[in-house]
Structure 1
Amino acid sequence: MTLAMADWLVLLAYLLVVLGIGFYFSRRNTSTEEYFVGGRRFRGWVIGLSLVGTSISSITFLAYPADAFKTDWLRYLPNLALLPAMLVAAFVFLPFFRRGNMTSAYEFLEMRYGPSVRVYGAIAFLVAQLVRLAMILWLLSLLIQQVTGLSPQAAIVMGGLFVGLYTVIGGIDAVIWTDVLQTVILLLGGVVCLWVIVDALPGGLGQIWRDGSQAGKFALAPWQDGAPGATSWRLSLSEKTATMMLLIGLTNWLTEYSSNQNTVQRYCASRSTREARRGLWVYLFTALPVWAFYMFLGTALWVFFQSHPDSTASAILDGRERAEALMPHFITAYLPAGVAGLVIAAALAAAMSSLDSSINSVTTVGVVDLYRRHLRPGRDDRHYLKVAWAMAVAVTAAMIAGALWLNSADTKTLQDTATILVSLLGGGMLGLYLLGFLTRRGNARAAWAGIALTLVFTGWTVLTNKGLLPEALSAPFDLYYTGLIGNLLMFLVGYLVARYWPSARAASGQS
């Protein structure tokens, strides 16, 4: 990719602003309370926009347009379950985390089930986030390579060090405010892309609606043989119906807003429960349109390339090129100087907003749930702040090392390994939290019984997916529903064990 001077100036300005935010907030970080939750003073609109920046990541910028370009809007369907999930999060989950001046999502697990379950939840989160950090940094490095011509190793190290620098020195303040900035940049970049497309089409915006509708590109149905199939609303564990897609979305969103430290830390950083709840509404009414916009951008690109035939676009449609190459190709080949720099900044923002949040949340969980709680309790706050800085540096190093390994490894092997680890350790986490939120039953024994059986269940589905079991012993359902079934299993087993095999001690988290 050859960038004009205007593009480099736009990119440089963006990076300097992000770095400046990190250095500005570094002056405030004199306590762990400031470093982890920003003194608990953030307003709702800031929390909401930072949640958008954390959740949209590179998937929104690259995968959503690519999916709508190749197929239709079926993948948008699970996002519609965000509305009921937000209602549950705002009025059921949020009050629990706002009590007792919590900092970590896993403090609740100790209050409810005991310290051993808290450690399990923290370790499951750390493993999942470290894998996620390595994969996102590797994806970010691909864009850096394309823009700068650096080697893969140099791109990974430079990208990781830059994100790590402003995150380590700035703490949660820098993470939240850079996420707000990155959300705005991401939106602006997408709008610029759509403007270029509409300006190049003879029929403008109306042509996108007309041609896309005629081709079925707005359908919420499986894409088959170049056209949308029939939309089914049946309940089924053997096929991906619209109803099941919504249930999967609901499960994923409830998990995100009950047990993910990236989210819970925003609850805790809000100045009040009211502001935290307002942040959830800002997130809801920002994220849903943003996701829809980027799906629409993918449809617009399909219409654009129908009018302006392109060999790369054709290769993506027929499967000879990866769909995720669509946006980088469009940026490179069709955007004018200066505009390309802005859109590349948006792509960088999409990845960086996920990386900085995960580095900070991993650091918080490592210090609060493991180091301060079990390894070195009772030390002064300055000691824990120094440990937090050191741990953030270590997480950055681990992220870079993981991305470097990924660059030299078989990506399919790493993806499989990551999926297995995250599925095994994180399976059933929503069920565990729901048991604590919705009932008074359950203690460490019940929780561990649910965890053990969920691990066995998830391991069974992994073996099925690998084809390592005979047909008679394989899972008789679509493995897409592993998480949904696993959470139900966790809740039911925990509840039944608590009811029919109660321990001698009260189920109050004292076990």
Structure 2
Amino acid sequence: MSPIILLSFLVVYFVILLGVSYFTSKGSADNSTFFVANRNSKWYLVAFGMIGTALSGVTFISVPGDIGNAPAGLEPNNFSYFQFVLGNALGFVIIAYVLLPLYYRMNLTSIYTYLEERLGYKSYKSGAMIFLVSRTIGSAFRLYLVAIVLQRYIFDAWNIPFFVTVSACLLLIWLYTNKGGLKTIIITDTLQTTFLVLAVILSIYFMADGLGITVIEAFEKVKDSSYSKVFIWENLLGDTRHFWKHVIGGAFVTIAMTGLDQDLMQKNLSMKTIGEAQKNMMTFTSIFIVINIFFLCVGALLYFYADANGINIADLGKSDYLYPEIALRHLGLLPGIVFMMGLTAATFATTDSALTALTTSYCVDFLGFNKKENPNDPKLVKQRNIVHMAFSVVMLLVILLFHVINDDSVVSAIFKIAGYTYGPLLGLFAFGILTKRRVNDNLVPYICVLAPLFIWLLTMYVLPYTSYKIGFELIVYNGLITYLLLLITSPGRASEKELSN
């Protein structure tokens, strides 16, 4: 497909987003609008829009491409990723009925203020800083994925540097989120999720058509193939994809990366009542499971198409390129535009939301906007704008660094990093919720560094000499070590005032 056609589509796409931003930010566009959308969001819009935020370009490209990959000496991944999705669903239920009631009872803007009330000032700052680092890295990785596709299939044709490609993406995101913040994002994410869902459904149709079969026949072909194998029960120690590793890891990754993450929780906190927030979360969970099944089916059809048309996946360099290669260079104009629509929607729905959450967390947790007499003071609004721009620049630098050093598929890289960065956050919240003890607040920052460092040393220098392979459950061990260190150093029982929070 011609790069100029793809670029024209992107221009039109962002004009639409800028238009949405203009209309949603008319009138009041103060800090209350930016941070929590004036707590007046409709649950059904948030539930649908969260799909785009939760899935991202990682699901859109890496998950379908990864089903044909195989760990050394083992069978291909096939649909084993769905075990992880089942764990995600379990995690979403826990978030809805354990964490959300806590956040609503305390009327939080930043969820990390819970840590200050329950554990202490340094625990609070440690938790907020963990989020800032974790979400910046995770969102940068996700944007990196779409940037390398845009670079390869559009901007390389004009020898435009990768730096310019990423900078342009972040500038456009900053432009349509800077004024309206969360109020704008709830609408743009609804629009972008619509594009994403439409793209995955149409991709199945175009792939089936390319194979000369109907959609029904395509699903039958997938079901009857080896790719449809979901459950892996063998080799608990040596296979990172074992059922229990995936389900347990998926549940705790979800609790940490969603329930303890300001990004997705900020949207839940924008609703009027806890009942609406829980209804949103359960509706979102149902759609999330179905959409992931569709993505896995797309993956199987991609491999069928590659086999039928002599496409050598090894020549592409990595499986992340399989979907864009077939959609943009083999299926024709309309399928290519549909693919680009879905990829752009999935990735930018994640990045715009992350930038808003990062700005919110920094302004509330480190600049104390929630403690100001007038949080909507024009000077504070201007300060928030500067913070928003600063995080865009930081994300740019992280993407450029990742572009130099990454050689894994993006999906594995994201969850590997999350296992290290979100683990201490999981341990902190678990300690606060599950125990009635105080922490040694002065030691908490050190514990949050020592726990992931210990796990890293274990995985690098001990586990390679054993038969055990760590998968997504890495975050569980990290959180557990944090929890145990907090327990060991605890000076005693918390006061009734601390526990009442």
Same fold (TM over 0.5): yes
CA–CA distance in structure 2, aligned partners of residues 417 and 78 of structure 1 = 15
Aligned to 2:55: 56
Matched, 1:443 2:438: yes
C-alpha contact (below 8 Å) 1:424/1:455 kept by paired residues: no
What aligned pairs does 1:340-355 form with structure 2 within 5 A after superposition?
Answer: 340-355=336-351
Matched, 1:463 2:457: yes
Give 1:46 shift: 1.1
TM-score, normalising length from structure 2? 0.87
Aligned to 1:315: 313
C-alpha contact (below 8 Å) 1:36/1:171 kept by paired residues: yes
CA–CA distance in structure 1, aligned partners of residues 128 and 121 of structure 2 = 11
Aligned to 1:489: 481
Give the direction of change, closer, same or farther, for the CA distance of 1:421–1:13 in structure 2 (3 Å limit).
closer
C-alpha contact (below 8 Å) 1:36/1:360 kept by paired residues: yes
- Residue correspondences, number: 487
C-alpha contact (below 8 Å) 1:65/1:294 kept by paired residues: yes
C-alpha contact (below 8 Å) 1:42/1:271 kept by paired residues: yes
The 3-state SS of whatever aligns with 2:360 is helix
CA–CA distance in structure 2, aligned partners of residues 460 and 327 of structure 1 = 38
Give the direction of change, closer, same or farther, for the CA distance of 1:79–1:279 in structure 2 (3 Å limit).
same
Give 1:406 shift: 3.9
Aligned to 2:269: 268
Aligned to 1:337: 333
Amino acid at match of 1:444: V
Give 1:54 shift: 0.9
Aligned to 1:147: 154
Q: Report the identity percentage.
A: 18
What aligned pairs does 1:145-184 form with structure 2 within 5 A after superposition?
Answer: 145=151, 146-148=153-155, 149=157, 150-184=160-194
Tell me the alpha carbon deviations over residues 183-238 of structure 1, each in whole angstroms, 9 at most, x when there is no partner: 111111122221112223344335434544444110025xxxxxxxxx31786587
CA–CA distance in structure 1, aligned partners of residues 467 and 445 of structure 2 = 22
CA–CA distance in structure 2, aligned partners of residues 454 and 395 of structure 1 = 23
Aligned to 1:118: 124
CA RMSD of superposed structures (Å) = 3.2
Aligned to 2:470: 479
What aligned pairs does 1:413-452 form with structure 2 within 5 A after superposition?
Answer: 423-439=419-435, 441-445=436-440, 452=446
Give 1:458 shift: 2.5
C-alpha contact (below 8 Å) 2:89/2:289 kept by paired residues: no
Tell me the alpha carbon deviations over residues 284-313 of structure 1, each in whole angstroms, 9 at most, x when there is no partner: 11111111101011112222333x3223xx
Give 1:433 shift: 1.4
Give the direction of change, closer, same or farther, for the CA distance of 1:220–1:490 in structure 2 (3 Å limit).
same
CA–CA distance in structure 2, aligned partners of residues 81 and 418 of structure 1 = 17
Matched, 1:195 2:205: yes
CA–CA distance in structure 2, aligned partners of residues 335 and 327 of structure 1 = 11
CA–CA distance in structure 2, aligned partners of residues 414 and 11 of structure 1 = 25
Tell me the alpha carbon deviations over residues 225-263 of structure 1, each in whole angstroms, 9 at most, x when there is no partner: xxxxxx317865875421221111111112234311012
CA–CA distance in structure 2, aligned partners of residues 504 and 61 of structure 1 = 46
TM-score, normalising length from structure 1? 0.85
Amino acid at match of 1:86: F
C-alpha contact (below 8 Å) 1:443/1:509 kept by paired residues: no
Give the direction of change, closer, same or farther, for the CA distance of 1:475–1:270 in structure 2 (3 Å limit).
farther
Amino acid at match of 2:32: E
Give the direction of change, closer, same or farther, for the CA distance of 1:141–1:484 in structure 2 (3 Å limit).
same
Give the direction of change, closer, same or farther, for the CA distance of 1:504–1:59 in structure 2 (3 Å limit).
closer
Tell me the alpha carbon deviations over residues 101-140 of structure 1, each in whole angstroms, 9 at most, x when there is no partner: 2111101111111221110011111112222343333333
Amino acid at match of 1:98: Y
